[in-house]
A and B are shown apart, each in its own frame.
Chain A
């Protein structure tokens, strides 16, 4: 059957959940069970005293699917609240990556120069390798990794996106 195809969008959702056992499985199961995409997922307890964890999710879908995802998340019993930071339009997003590059000679010098340009930190070094720590928006990290490709890129570890809204207000429990 021919279906009208709406454009795909990428949205970042902040989800405050009660940090009970299985809550992450619940969220991930919702996405796999209903066929939604997860591009990035981060989760950690953020308020120890009240057992609240914050999940930051990046997902793609048509606007209708994104609304469904928010509503489906919101009706999970341990979920306090869901905010679509892309809709509210004022989110700050950061990601941290650890990037290992091995090489000698010109390659090594060039990787170091680029690391400086990107304001990456060196967190480990040997005579033939560096581990760079880079924080920033996803596309900046993507770009850096692409540049490292021909310069001896060994492996990458990324945290996934953490996001928060600008301004004085916080998410309500």
Chain B
């Protein structure tokens, strides 16, 4: 039975019915029928990237800034393998992506045909789920299922591999409403007894902390609102992982900044010394915990997560609550309101006194310089000059990323796109592309490093093609800065291969792409240069020459606990800061 549609037309119809407006992709032999179907319709816009990795990152940026599923279309073989980094990135950061890959015709599968690879085999460990569609009549169902799986429960990437003959064949179409998943039914509502128990413990806390993560963002804007409400009700301090920035406003007095390896002194010491920790949509990742043996030794731990496998994976918790963050917070707030618990105000006041004492240490202070732009200063100025605008920030990976997380204040969710779990250099530029597609009139800035940005620089060409006015703000210190920093700390200052030799002239490069290039090396001229970037109509490559030897502090050295941070302005023997055991850790 068919509705007179080819497989390729079914793909387009299913995407349209799923509310897809943009596809990021790159054509090739095994997806030509789908590209032909794209050509013959106007409902969905295709954005042509320059490398398939960029397509997935762009879709990630799109997804993270909108809350919608990002859609990718690539060809078989190298198209699929090039997408693997992006898929793994989306897997690690729980970003909903549907990636359609072309495949050689079914009769050639397994024959080592031209541009054949075992796409479902290769992508199995780096996707939430994947499908090879052999029967054209399964196509519509599988595509609807793919969107369901990508966006429900803990989000993630889903690959749908479609052989070329299936794209040509006549295929049955069924709409999205007919899909009920047989096995995948993630739990959203929490166990109420656990919620009540958690509220009891939270209400009786004397030194509490709310430790929030990307799960709050993924749960939707409603979850961020509920988090703010809950924080206000309790008056407790809030810290956030890299992934969760923006869920709670950075400018709020209750916010202690980011925690973890490059987190603030106050956030990490509050984590170490707390008596009750409420982990909301975070996963106790090694960048957060440091040495797990030394992690928050005296606290009762409550862990809210939609993914049961996150519970007790790295840190044993006392009260696990499995459910969607928004649902759980809603229930906790309801129980709290019904009980009107009496908080130990005196204990809380003294706790805040302690926290403010740590805050007074001003761990993010750095030595300002007149002659050269400090990278921290560059981020601070970028923040001050863009904070009243409708701004979205993406980053690459490394020192600049951590400085952005430390010095750029995020007030709202979905405004901050960074590769947290996988740590993918080259993420920021294509992600900015995707964000700008979703928000054409907003200011989208990729805070970049000169090394990372060269990994996906070719996507500037896509920015030009679609007139996407992304601003690439490169903190250029001529080093793979974080590699250099670790070599300074761990490897006797032997800077093996971490110098960015033979750097291109980014201003001339901008010229070659046909966009604007700006260079600045003078702290006094930085504001004007940033304003020029903001006020430029099209894409900008901003080459911000910064101090070459700046290190990113505070830092919890590998193998150490939260209470053993290295601070930037403290004389520390860096050679001895990391133990032999710590050196083997990443």
Contact = CB atoms under 8 A, between A and B. Distances in A.
Interface of A: 1-4, 17-18, 21-22, 25-26, 29, 33, 64, 67-68, 71-72, 74-75, 77-80
A21 B131 CA distance: 9
Contact of B309 (A29, A33, A75): A75
B312 A64 contact: yes
Contacts, number: 50
12 contacts: A18-B182, A21-B132, A25-B121, A29-B125, A64-B316, A71-B308, A74-B309, A75-B154, A77-B128, A78-B129, A78-B183, A80-B183
A14 to B, nearest CB: 15
Given A3-B293, A64-B312, A79 B124 contact: no
Looking at chain B, what size class is its interface with the partner chain?
A: 20 to 34
B266 interface: no
Interface centre among A18, A26, A71, A74 (most CB of B within 10 A): A71
The 10 closest A-B pairs by CB, nearest first: A71-B309, A77-B129, A71-B308, A77-B184, A1-B581, A72-B309, A80-B183, A33-B125, A18-B183, A75-B309
Contacts of A79: 183
Nearest to A74: B308
**Looking at chain A's contact residues, is the secondary structure mostly helix, strand, loop, or mixed?**
mixed
A68 B182 contact: no
A57 to B, nearest CB: 16
Interface centre among A4, A22, A72, A74 (most CB of B within 10 A): A22
B96 to A, nearest CB: 14
A68 B309 contact: yes
Interface in B109-138: 120-121, 124-125, 128-130, 132
B505 to A, nearest CB: 43
B165 interface: no
Contact of B307 (A18, A25, A75): A75
A59 to B, nearest CB: 15
B182 to A, nearest CB: 6
Contacts of B291: 1
Contacts of A74: 308-309
B124 A1 contact: no
Interface string B133-151: 0000000000000000100
Given A21-B132, A26-B124, A77 B183 contact: yes
A26 B309 CA distance: 16
A135 B309 CA distance: 36
A71 B124 contact: no
Interface centre among A4, A29, A67, A77 (most CB of B within 10 A): A77
B311 A77 contact: no
Given A22-B132, A75-B154, A77-B128, 11 more contacts: A1-B581, A3-B293, A17-B183, A18-B183, A22-B120, A22-B130, A25-B121, A33-B125, A74-B308, A77-B129, A80-B183
Contacts of B124: 22, 25-26, 29
B409 interface: no
A72 B129 CA distance: 13
Contacts of B307: 71, 75
A71 B581 CA distance: 30
